[in-house]
Amino acid sequence: MYLIFGTMINFLMPIAISIINKAVDKIPDDLDSVIKDFVIKLLKKAAAKTENKLDDELVAAVAKALLES
């Protein structure tokens, strides 16, 4: 049983490492700005559905704080 498990690990581990390395290589260098843009767009869409001016002001304040940091 151990021999089969060890053989499977020895076979699958290089494949898994290759997949992980390819995925890591595709991460953009400016990941923090991509995440900030996504959060701001998500908040804007949510605030647009409420039709509340206070929500719009809150989103603007959050966007300003995220973009300044």
Domain residue spans of the chain: 2-68
Nearest partner of 35 among 9, 5, 2, 69, judged by Cα? 69
Average pLDDT over residues 22-50: 91
**Residue 1 predicted with pLDDT over 90:** no
Whole-angstrom CA distances from 27 to 20, 24, 35, 39, 51 are: 11, 5, 12, 18, 36
Percent of the chain surpassing pLDDT 90: 54
Mean pLDDT of the chain: 89
- Whole-model pTM: value is 0.60
Q: What is residue 36's predicted lDDT score, i.e. its pLDDT?
A: 92
Q: Measure CA 12 to chain center.
A: 27
Q: What is residue 15's predicted lDDT score, i.e. its pLDDT?
A: 94
Provide the residue count of the chain: 69
**Residue 2 predicted with pLDDT over 70:** no
Locate tokens 């595709």: which residue? 26
